[in-house]
Amino acid sequence: MTPPLDRRAVLALLASTTAGCSLFGGDAVPTETQATPEALDDLAAGRVVAVGASGRTAVAPDDTNRPVQDALDAVADGGGRVYLPPGLVRERGPVRPYENTGIYGFGMNVSVLEITRSGTDGVRFDRDDRTHRVQLDGFELRGPGVTESTGVALHFPPNEEDPATDPADLWVGRLYCREWRNSVYRVEAGVGPFQCRHDFLRIDDCDAGDQNALVEWRADYGPANWFGTIVAYPSARSSGADSRLLYQRGGELTIGQATVGTTTGRLIDTRGGRLHVGRLHYEPVGQRAIPTALVAIRGGSVVRVDDVLVDTGAVDYVYELGGGTGGAVLSAATASRGDIRANTVTVAGRLDPDRPSWYFGRADEVDVAGSWDTGSLRALGGAGVGLG
Q: Does pLDDT of 355 surpass 70? A: yes
- Of residues 19 and 287, more confidence is placed in 287
Residue 383 has a pLDDT of: 58
| φ and ψ at residue 377, rounded to 5 degrees | -110, 120
If you average pLDDT over residues 203-215, what whole number do you get?
Answer: 98
Question: Smallest Cα–Cα separation from 212: which of 296, 283, 287, 338?
Answer: 296
Tell me the pLDDT band of 263, cut-offs 50, 70 and 90. very high
In tens, the pLDDT along 216-255 reads 999 999 999 999 999 999 999 999 999 999 999 999 999 9
Compute CA distances 235 → 85, 140, 313, 321, whole Å.
28, 17, 16, 28
User: What b/e readout covers 240-273, taking b as 16+ CB neighbours within 10 angstroms?
Assistant: ebbbbbbbbbbbbbbbbbbbbbbbbbbbbbbbeb
Share of the chain above pLDDT 70, in %: 87
Residue 153 has a pLDDT of: 98
Share of the chain above pLDDT 90, in %: 78
How many Cα neighbours within 13 Å face the side chain of 34?
Answer: 15
Question: Smallest Cα–Cα separation from 332: which of 300, 366, 303?
Answer: 366
Q: Does pLDDT of 167 surpass 50? A: yes
| Residue 146 to residue 243: CA distance in whole angstroms | 13
In tens, the pLDDT along 140-157 reads 999 999 999 999 999 999
Q: Does pLDDT of 6 surpass 60? A: no
Residue 388 has a pLDDT of: 62
Average pLDDT, rounded, for the chain: 89
| Residue 205 to residue 88: CA distance in whole angstroms | 18
Lowest mean pLDDT among 156-170, 268-282, 343-357, 363-377: 156-170
Residue 53 has a pLDDT of: 85
Q: Where are the domains of the chain?
A: 7-289, 290-388
Residue 131 has a pLDDT of: 86
